[in-house]
Amino acid sequence: MTIEVKVIADSINSGGERITTMQLKYPRFIHSEFMTHRVFSRSASSSRAIPVSKMLRAVWHEPAAPVYWGSNKPGMQAGAELRPFRRLAAKVLWKASGRAMCGVVWVMSKMGLHKQVSNRLLEPWQHIHVVVTSTEWQNFFDLRCHPDAQPEFQELAKQMRLMRNISTPRKLEDHDWHLPYIDCLERERLSTHEAIQVSAARCCRVSYLNHEGRTSTLEQDVARYESLVNAVPPHMSPVEHQAMALPGLAYANFRGWASHRWLLEESVGYRMDRGPQTS
């Protein structure tokens, strides 16, 4: 099992309010608990979008698995870890069950079943890739770095806390933009609007790369952005990660920063159910 945490963008405004975006990889079986933290803006990889062949390779070679094989007892927390032989047997059974399900899913795919159905059977052994942005982190760290949290979640939260603590935020002036996946050269080369579009497209994919594994072009990223905000209804979570520095006030779930989504929804002529409106 692999848990990976990377700081993608880290910014602080003139009022000392900090916003951080991280790229995460963790077992999908803790994702529902991660989703309970409502101050976060999140975009995640979807089982419906990933080809069956790619999902099968991932589960076969690198399945998500527990980090702590605790013994059964009443309550939410496990007891002491199983003895070595039983722990090894549990690990073997976990991996074998994932590979057995790979066989079931492979047969279903050959029958012509769509990946949005067959891939769901692989979710207990999947990793999920997530982009998360927030200005409020302390409550999350207090809860999830705690010994009572599930061990896999503890490991994720501790890595997130460490990476944020060692990161140095970039100082931005009022009305400057926090732009995940946009490097310094792109900030100079692209207009602000283009940089926002490219950032949103990459947050949607949770990667600098396109779905073919190549670096995306400006045209591809702009097209992806347009397909998000102009859809009926629009898909807005990827445009929550880009944020303008506006110190001193709260804007939706951010403090001192207004997300691109918030600005779009508050602008005249925009409706969530129909996208941008023209007069």
Average pLDDT over residues 261-271: 72
Domain match, 109 and 224 both: no
Q: Look up residue 228 and give its two tokens.
A: 């998000």
| Residue 42 to residue 36: CA distance in whole angstroms | 11
Average pLDDT over residues 4-11: 97
The whole-number pLDDT of residue 50 equals: 87
The b/e string for 67-106 (b: 16+ C-beta within 10 A; e otherwise) is: eebeeeeeeeebeeebeeeeeeeeeeebeeebeebbeebe
Q: Please give the distance of CA 146 from its chain centroid, rounded to a whole number.
A: 22
pTM of the model: 0.91
Among residues 166, 187, 213, the one where a domain terminates is 166
CA dihedral 108, 112, 114, 115 (to 10 degrees): 50
Domain residue limits at 216: 173-276
Going by pLDDT thresholds of 50, 70 and 90, the confidence category of residue 275 is very low
| Residue 23 to residue 21: CA distance in whole angstroms | 7
Domain match, 147 and 184 both: no
pLDDT in tens, 158-203: 999 999 999 999 999 999 999 999 999 999 999 999 999 999 999 9
Q: Is the pLDDT of residue 25 over 90?
A: yes
Domain match, 132 and 268 both: no
Number of domains making up the chain = 2
Q: Is the pLDDT of residue 213 over 80?
A: no
pLDDT in tens, 130-169: 999 999 999 999 999 999 999 999 999 999 999 999 999 9
CA distances for 202 relative to 19, 51, 196, 199, 243, angstroms: 18, 19, 10, 5, 15
Domain match, 35 and 125 both: yes
Among residues 134, 166, 198, the one where a domain terminates is 166
The whole-number pLDDT of residue 208 equals: 62
Mean pLDDT of the chain: 91
One DSSP character per residue, 1-31 reads ---EEEEEEEEE-TTS-EEEEEEEEEEGGGH
Among residues 120, 142, 166, the one where a domain terminates is 166
Average pLDDT over residues 210-228: 82
Average pLDDT over residues 199-228: 83
CA-closest candidate to residue 246, choices 11, 9, 8, 10: 11
The whole-number pLDDT of residue 272 equals: 40
The whole-number pLDDT of residue 46 equals: 85
| Residue 27 to residue 94: CA distance in whole angstroms | 14
The whole-number pLDDT of residue 130 equals: 96
Domain match, 153 and 225 both: no
